[in-house]
Every structure is written in C-alpha cells, then in structure tokens.
Structure 1
Amino acid sequence: MSQTDGQGGTAAGWYDDPAGSGGLRWWDGSRWSDHVQPAQQAAPPQPAAGQYAYPAAPAYGSHAGTEPRRVDPGTPVYGPFIWIITLLPALSLLLLPLSFTGFEDMMRYEMQSGGTGYGMSGGLSGGALLAQSAATLFGWLIYGAGVVLAFFDRKWLLARGFDRPFHWAFAFIPAPVYPIGRSIVVRRRSGRGIAPMWVSIGLLALSLIIGIAVTVWIFSITIGMMNSLDYGSFSS
C-alpha cells in the first residue's frame, strides 16, 4: 500500500489482499475489512478531494452520443424540390449560347482596336448585349433558386421524419454539393435516395466536356482572326 491520506496514514481503498487470495480487500483507513472482490472488478479510481472529474468528450461527429435514427421503410425520399435543384445545372447549360452571343464580333473589335479597350459596347450589337445581360440575370436567378429550393427540400425531409438531414446552406456552394450531400445522408437514413447524386455527377461531367469544347472553340476562332489580321500567320 503506497497511497497515503493527508495525515500520513494509508488512505481508504481497495488494495491487494494481504491474505494472498489474489483479489482486492478493502482497507478502511485503519484496518482490513472482510470485504473482498476479484481484482478485475476493481472500482475506478476516485478523484482526490478538491479535484474535478471532467466528463469524457463525445467522439468527433457524434451528436450527444446518439446515432441518427433511420426512417420507417417506405418513407418517401424523393420530393419535387430535390429534382428541380438537381436539374438546374442543365438549364444553365441550355442558356450557355446566350453568354457567347456576339463573341466573335467582340474579339474582332478588340483585335482591330489594338487592345486599347472595348468602348461602351465592346463591338457588340444591341441584341448581343441584351442576350448576354439576360444570360447573366438568368444565371443569378438559377443560383438563388437553388438555395431557396434547398431550404424547402430540407423542411420536406424533416416533415417525413429524417433526422438531421443535409443542411440547405451547402447550396450556396455553386458546385452540386447539396444534391450529392443530401443523397448520401438520405441513403444512410433510409437505404435509398442516391439517384440525385448520380444525376448531378453526370451533369457535372457533361459540363466539363462542354467547357473543354468551348475552350477549343474560343482558341480556334482567336487563331483564325489573328491569321486574318496583322498578327502574323499561326497556321504553319
């Protein structure tokens, strides 16, 4: 026995049984008692007087030590809002030609002006300016609609018993974060509901392909205009 109390005596507690039983015997501070218990069932050490025993912190990602509950089988997982959110990028792709209306005229004007500026219209006609402005406006409307619809989609999930669904604020990220995250969380709660994620990934891949094609198109018309003007030949 090596623990001592504040007065030099051995503190009360469970210690190796001096009788050789292999267990622990209770020492009450002045003498051995008749209480014996196996060594593996020893009580955890108690904090000394004046010390505070801090509770163990919950594991990262846990919520009050509980796992999210699963919904009942047959609970709907697809609502109208998630499909609109998922397909909004397709609408953006359809509006892409408006963003490049008059692009060749703008490039020609820039090259002919020697890079001194675009002027008021940048060589664009009134119709081209209107088309590009409409594309910008629709782009912001689509972005805002995605955020609003994500808010209502989360309420839709909560109303059907989904515990802590994916937060709607992730819709502020332009990439398809909300449909993908929402699908993963719903899948964990119900075992279903992964389809919006695959549709979003497919649209993202299509967007990358179209982006590469647009880049090649811009490069080709730029080289063609430079060859037709006084920038030298790039065809050789």
Structure 2
Amino acid sequence: MTDPAPSAQPDPYARATPAAELTAPPGTDPSTPWIWAILVIPIVQFLPIFLIDWNAFIVASITDTTGLGATAALFSPGYVVLIAVGWIGTALLIWFAYLDWKELKRRGVPQPFHWAWMFLVLAVSYAVYPIGRAVVAKRRTGRGLEVMWITIATLVAGLVAGVVLSIVLVQLVIANLDLVTFGP
C-alpha cells in the first residue's frame, strides 16, 4: 500500500495581499486632524500636574500620624482635575484613533494601522498607535514619519519633566524634614 500524495497546502507565511496592492493612491496625504489631536492630548494631560500644591501634600504626609492628611491632600482640586483630564484624555485618544483610522481608509490607504492598538494606552503607552501608524503610513503613502518623531520627542520631554518633578519633590521633602518628629 502506498501513502497518498500530500495535499497542496498554502504557504502559511505567504503574504495575503501583494505589497504593490498595499500602496495608497499617489498623492495621498496621511496627515489627518485626528493624529495631530492624538499628539497634543498627552501634553494637555500632563499640565494639571502644576495645579497640585506639592508642598502642602508633602507637609501633610510628613506631619500627619493618622495617614488621613496625605489622603486629603490628594483630593485637592488640582489632583481631581489631573485625574479627570487623564480619563477624559484617554477616552479621546481612543476615539480619535478610530476617527484617524476611518479617515485614512476613506482616503484610500489600504490596511492602515488599526485604531484598536490605542487600547494599549491603558497598559503601556499612548505612543504605540502613533508610532505604528507612522510606520504603516510611510509604507503605504511614502510620507508620515513626522508623527513618529514628534511622538518620540514628546516621550523624551515627558521623561525629562518626570525627572525634574522628582528632583523638585525630593528637595521639598528634604526642606521639610525639620517637621518630622521621631518617637512618642
């Protein structure tokens, strides 16, 4: 008895759509208002950090033995605005990514970077969508990498701002150490 001839199976690594078909029509502009809004939102989300009275928070944290003073300082108007702007901004990031994806499809960009990647904003970073979108837009239209570079610049600026804020907070703690009482 002989073995039956192997059936011809498709190559699992073959590209479903040839690369030539994944090119947008000549002159397609990948720049939408939605991607620019996506780049601005994280900056706006960061600004309320300046509304928090950090000195009051640190003094309350150092002097309060019950632990309620620091908690009360966290619910200051500045902190509430920071949290609200964060949640609203995150919802807008996801919505604008959808609108951006939809607009790219309307402009004839085949298989644009999917908007659902923006959900990683909750776990990783908002930068996943703009960077992935920039790379795919560049492949499809030949343009659009400025979005990636602006996103990277924003991430670096955020890192620098975080380091500066950390240094300021440590200086505030050191300046208020005379308020600490040790022992009964």
TM-score, scaled relative to structure 2: 0.86
Which of the two has greater strand per residue? 1
Distance in 2 (CA, whole Å) between partners of 1:132 and 1:65 is 49
Map residues 33-48 of structure 1 onto 2, 5 A cutoff: none
Relative to its length, the structure with more helix (as a share) is 2
Decide whether aligned partners of structure 1 residues 123 and 157 sit closer, same or farther in structure 2, where only a CA change above 3 A counts.
closer
Q: Determine the structure 2 residue equivalent to 1:30.
A: none
Residues in 2 aligned to 1:135 and 1:181: alpha-carbon distance in whole angstroms: 28
Whole-angstrom CA distance in 2 between matches of 1:151 and 1:227: 52
Q: Distance in 2 between matches of 1:154 and 1:123?
A: 42
Structure with bigger gyration radius: 1
Report the counterpart of residue 30 of structure 2 in structure 1: 77
Structure 1: unaligned runs, 5 residues or longer: 1-5, 7-47, 232-236
RCO (CA 8 Å, sep 6+): is it higher in 1 or 2? Answer: 2
Q: Which residue of 2 aligns with 1:225?
A: 176
Letter in 2 for 1:97: F
Q: Distance in 1 between matches of 2:64 and 2:36?
A: 47
**Cα root mean square deviation, aligned:** 2.2
5+ residue gaps in structure 2? none
CA apart distance, 1:54: 4.2
What is the alpha-carbon distance in structure 1 between the residues aligned to residue 84 and residue 114 of structure 2?
26
Number of aligned pairs? 177
Q: How does 1:95-106 map to 2 (within 5 A)?
A: 95-98=48-51, 101-106=52-57
Aligned counterparts, 1:46-85, within 5 A: 50-59=4-13, 62=15, 64=16, 66-67=18-19, 68-85=21-38
SS of the aligned residue for 2:167 comes to helix
In structure 2, the partner of 1:201 is 152
**TM-score normalized with structure 1 length:** 0.68
Work out the percentage of aligned pairs sharing the same amino acid.
27
